[in-house]
Structure 1
Amino acid sequence: MNITSKPKLRRGAAVAVVLLLAVGGAMLLLRPPTRALAPSAPASAMTVEVVTPDNRDWPRALQGSGPVTAWQEIIVSPETGGYRIAELMVDVGATVRRGQVLARLADEGLRVDLRKQEAVVAQSRSSLEQASANVRRAKVVGTTGSLSAQQIEEYRITEDSARATLQSSQADLDSVKLKLTQTRVLAADDGVVSSKTGVVGNVVSAGTELFRLVRQGRLEWRPEFDARELASVQAGQKAELTLLNGERVEGTVRMAAPTLSTTTGRATVYVSLNGGSTARAGMFASGLVRLGNAPALTLPQSAIVMRDGRAYVYLVDGSSKVSAQAVTTGRRQDDRVELRSKLPADAQVVASGGAFLSDGVQVTVKQPEAKR
């Protein structure tokens, strides 16, 4: 290549560059203007189902706890004292009937006293018969003037004295017979023996406890309630308690205590238990007293979120954002729970999964499936 051709090549390259720039500018001018990008929508945290509060008629009850005790207790003790226990006829757990012999005291000494007193009565009766005969004879002889009025009066006084002596000895005989009867210690009523403290061979005094009975085998549950709760309790209401072994026992409110404890401010409710259960006096049980039905605003239990010891629900607004609201819960039945806090009738509440949400997050509301 000769030297004169190089300037020509440089001019050609420059022209080509200028042409390219011109074409690129023209293409830029011909391109349509670009639109501004729209701001992106906030991302949905999760898809949720919503429910509205539902009004239902639910049974209302008071929860309580207390001991199971005997309806009434009977203390079995001898009415006479100073005698040895010869025999105890029943043991703990036995069912007894009114008038049944439960214990026997040694009565040998009393039987000796009985024979002795019977002899005294016979002697007193003979003395009275003799004195009465003397009075009759004196009255006959007195008509003839052989006896003075003073002698006749003495015969009459002797008769009255003999009669009084007979009555006194007869009373002593009755006393011995009564003591002899009292050596047989009887059940005052039907019941179940709950304890036995008598010991064969002991010399007991009158009133010493030998047995204790649960009268008629009837038991009571005695929960305690405060004054506000007590106002709802009435005789005849049904109750149910749960024993430690899981057994459920039915009962009926017999009465509520007329006064409250000055130390606790609570009162005892007496609930008569139905028979046939494994309940025993001395047990402690929890249960409820049914107060009848009352309306309840309810939600599924899955809609309640427990956080920091408080209950919350998540409400969905018109823009599908959620907000937490603290609520107070009450009765529970099946899989639903009562709301004691007020919510709008058309409130949209997250049905489940609220534990994964927080205030202000965006959600996608799942539409209910169309019914076929």
Structure 2
Amino acid sequence: MSRLILLLPAALLLAACGSEKEQAAPVRPVLSVVVQPQVQSQLGRFAGSIQARYESTLGFRVSGRIARRWLDVGAQVKPGDTLATLDPTDQQNQLRAAEGDLARVQAQWINAQADARRQQQLYDRGVGAQAQLDIARTNLKTTGASLEQARAAVSQARDQLDYSTLRTDHAAVVTAWQAEAGQTVSAGQAVVTLARPDIKEAVIDLPTHLAEQLSEGLTFTVSLQLDPSINTSATLRELEPQADATTRTRRARLSLDSTPDTFHLGTAVSVTLTSEVTPRSELPLTALLERDGKTQVWVVDPQTKTVATRDVLLIDRDGERIVLSSGVQPGERVVTAGVNLLKPGQKVTFDGDVR
């Protein structure tokens, strides 16, 4: 009897210990992330380049054979610099002919003046006829008109000779040549393309479906491809109305809010399109807990290091992520792995804990 009494307390003690072990869940290590608010949605990233807003294609104003091309692609020019010259032989001959015609008409005009004075003197003395005076005056006026025409012809011939030299009227950079020395060109034919380096912009090609959805709320971020830390914001300045027949893209030109020194003409850049959205949170798909018709996540209490479920409103999901419009707050920690193995109130450890 005494032996039975001694064994009973020991059995009760073992049963109590076993009950506590069953109630105390183990501390489980988990993966987690801190909720970050998202106020912008990224629509895509596209490759582009820095180009000049203003480009001009120049050509000679007269026809001829190009005698010399003075500059190469990439050269910087100032107002008045010579770009190319034509063989001036034809223009020089035209100028000599015009100057010869002018000398001949000047001689005729001097003779007409002298004749008009003689007829006027004879008429004043009463020995000259009115008809002769009228003829002399008419001849003087006709010769004067011919003189003005000859002078204009000389001026035009000089201009034609000057047009055989192609000059720039503004500071620019030579970006392309469409003709070479020895080539015969017609008046107005494209010879050289100049770009003004003072105003630059980013140029990208957008898919047609995205170009049709562009709105005023879009933000463009232009960054250097070799160093994304060098970037600036931009706004849409121009969008081509028609898509390219081959690529089915539409070219967009973006005005830069500022121009970093490394943004040279032709520099490769990346352009990111983002749009303002209502505040939301983005989490990995593995953080989602779906059971009993509810959409939940596990939220970690930073004080007690325990977890509790939280109902959330899901607005988007794909193969890797979910987007929530409500249910979690910025700065809260959410479990992202093993969500089906946790229990409410269970203690957890995560990266950064001292174990």
Taking structure 2 as the reference length, what is the TM-score of the superposition? 0.70
Note closer, same or farther for the CA distance 1:119–1:322 as it changes in structure 2 (3 Å cut). Answer: same
SS in 2 for 1:199: coil
* CA displacement at 1:178 relative to structure 2: 0.5
Q: Does 1:199 align with 2:180?
A: yes
1:315 aligns with 2:298: yes
Secondary structure of the 2:222 match is strand
Aligned to 2:270: 285
Amino acid at match of 1:285: S
User: Which residue is equivalent to 1:162?
Assistant: 143
When structure 1 is superposed on structure 2, of 161-170 and 319-328 the one drifting more is 319-328
C-alpha separation in 2, matches of 1:200 and 1:230: 48
- Greater Cα offset, 318-327 or 113-122: 318-327
Find out whether 1:152 has 2:133 as its counterpart: yes
1:271 aligns with 2:255: yes
Task: Give the residue type in structure 2 aligned to 1:314.
Answer: V
Gap runs ≥5 in structure 2: 290-294
**8 A Cα contact 2:120 2:133, kept in partner:** yes
DSSP 3-state at the match of 1:92: coil
Contact residue 48 and residue 365 of structure 1 kept, 8 A: no
Judging changes above 3 Å, is the alpha-carbon distance between structure 1 residues 160 and 245 closer, same or farther for their aligned structure 2 residues?
same
> How many residues are aligned here?
324
Summarize the alignment of residues 201-350 of structure 1 with structure 2, pairs less than 5 Å apart: 201-216=182-197, 218-223=199-204, 230-233=215-218, 240-246=221-227, 248-251=229-232, 253=234, 255-257=236-238, 268=252, 270-272=254-256, 274=259, 276-277=261-262, 279-281=264-266, 283=268, 285-287=270-272, 304-307=283-286, 314-316=297-299, 320=307, 322=309, 340-344=324-328, 349-350=333-334
Q: Using the TM superposition, give the Cα deviation of residue 255 of structure 1 relative to its aligned residue in structure 2, in angstroms.
A: 4.9
Q: Which amino acid aligns with 1:357?
A: V
Structure 1 position 72 matched with structure 2 position 54? yes
Deviation at 1:232, TM superposition (A): 1.7
Q: Deviation of residue 102 (structure 1)?
A: 0.5
Whole-angstrom CA distance in 2 between matches of 1:106 and 1:32: 124
User: Residues 49 and 185 from structure 1, CA distance in 2 versus in 1: closer, same or farther, beyond 3 angstroms?
Assistant: closer
Measure the CA separation in 1 of the matches of 2:265 and 2:57.
Answer: 18
Gaps of 5+ in 1: 1-23, 331-336
Letter in 2 for 1:77: G
Aligned to 2:106: 125
Give the deviation of 1:222 after TM superposition: 3.2
Offset at 1:309? 12
Report deviation, 1:104: 0.9
| Cα contact 1:139–1:152 (8 A) shared by 2 | yes
Aligned partners of 1:346 and 1:287: how far apart in 2? 25
Query: d(CA) in 2 for partners of 1:130 and 1:270?
Result: 69
1:93 and 2:74 aligned: yes
Q: Partner of 1:230: helix, strand, or coil?
A: coil
RMSD (CA atoms): 4.8
Q: Which residue of 2 aligns with 1:110?
A: 91
**How high is the sequence identity, in percent, across the aligned residues?**
17
Output the CA distance in 2 between the equivalents of 1:350 and 1:109: 84
Q: Deviations over 1:320-369 (max 9, x none)?
A: 56579685699xxxxxx996521155996435xx2233266467335999
Output the CA distance in 2 between the equivalents of 1:320 and 1:290: 34
Classify the secondary structure of the residue corresponding to 2:340. Answer: coil
Which of 1 and 2 has greater Rg?
A: 1
The structure-2 alpha-carbon separation of the partners of 1:251 and 1:271, relative to structure 1 and needing over 3 Å to count, comes to farther
- Report the Cα distance in structure 2 between the residues aligned to 1:196 and 1:131, rounded to whole angstroms: 54
Paired residue type of 1:343: G
Deviation sequence 1:171-215 (CA, Å, 0-9, x none) = 211111011110110113211111122211112111222211112
Residue type of the partner of 2:186?
S
1:4-60 deviations in Å (ceiling 9; x for gaps): xxxxxxxxxxxxxxxxxxxx9x9879986987988733744714598885779x889
Does the 8 A contact of 1:48 with 1:350 survive in 2? Answer: no
Q: Secondary structure at the match of 1:355?
A: coil
Residue 80 of structure 1: CA displacement? 0.7
Which amino acid is the alignment partner of residue 254 of structure 2? Answer: Y
Normalization by structure 1: what TM-score? 0.67
